[in-house]
Amino acid sequence: MQSLIILRGLPGSGKSTLAKELSENGTYPVFSVDDFFRDSTGNYHFEFEKNHLAYKQCEQNTRQSMSEGTSKIFIDNVFSLEWEIEPYFKLASEFNYRVFVLTVENRQHFKNIHGINDEQIRKMAAKYQVILF
């Protein structure tokens, strides 16, 4: 059976690094909202007003990959709120994928690559929901 592996956690927790490792260095696709904000040289330029477009692109990439029957798909996003993750469960149900959700924690005190300061990350952590299904 095909699998959708969702990695969630605060910025700097190591989601992208773990996704790359688990995807066997690109053997399986990794999709992220962050992909939308990277230019052709890999530089990251976040624009809050375009965040909804980034979420849509990530969902569309996942849908396309599922429609092609990709055996493993990785999603690496913060997913601090339940509504952000729900579309992926719907896609998994539609395409008969089993879903694994892993929460990644910053136990090694990594710095995030997005320039988000510690105060902002603390605010994100305060609203971070444990998702119970």
Question: What is the domain extent for residue 108?
Answer: 3-127
Helix (H) or strand (E) holding 109: none
Q: What is the pLDDT of residues 81-132, one digit of tens each?
A: 888 899 999 999 999 999 999 999 876 666 666 677 778 777 777 777 776 6
Task: Give the contacts of 45 (CB within 8 A, at least 6 positions apart).
Answer: 37, 38, 39
For residue 132, the model assigns a pLDDT of 63
Cβ 44 vs Cβ 116: under 8 Å:
no
Residue 55 belongs to some domain of the structure: yes
The better pLDDT of the pair 74, 43 is held by 74
Q: Is residue 110 part of a domain?
A: yes
Residue 68 is encoded by which pair of tokens?
Answer: 């092609």
Q: With CA atoms as reference, report the closest residue to 59 among 10, 25, 95, 27.
A: 95
Residue 38 inside a domain? The answer is yes
> Does residue 64 lie in a domain region?
yes
Structural domain contains residue 133: no
The yes-or-no verdict on residue 25 having pLDDT over 80 is yes
Is 87 a domain residue? Answer: yes
Number of domains in the chain: 1
Tokens of 64: 């396309």
Contact (Cβ atoms closer than 8 angstroms) between residue 45 and residue 37: yes
CATH code assigned at 47: 3.40.50.300
pLDDT digits (tens, 9 = 90+) for 34-64: 999 999 998 888 888 998 999 999 999 999 9
Tell me what pLDDT residue 22 has. 95
Q: Which residue has the tokens 């395409």?
A: 95
Distance CA 8, CA 27 (A): 21
Residue 57 in domain: yes
Residue 100 inside a domain? The answer is yes
Orientation of helix 82-95 relative to helix 51-67, angle to 10°: 20
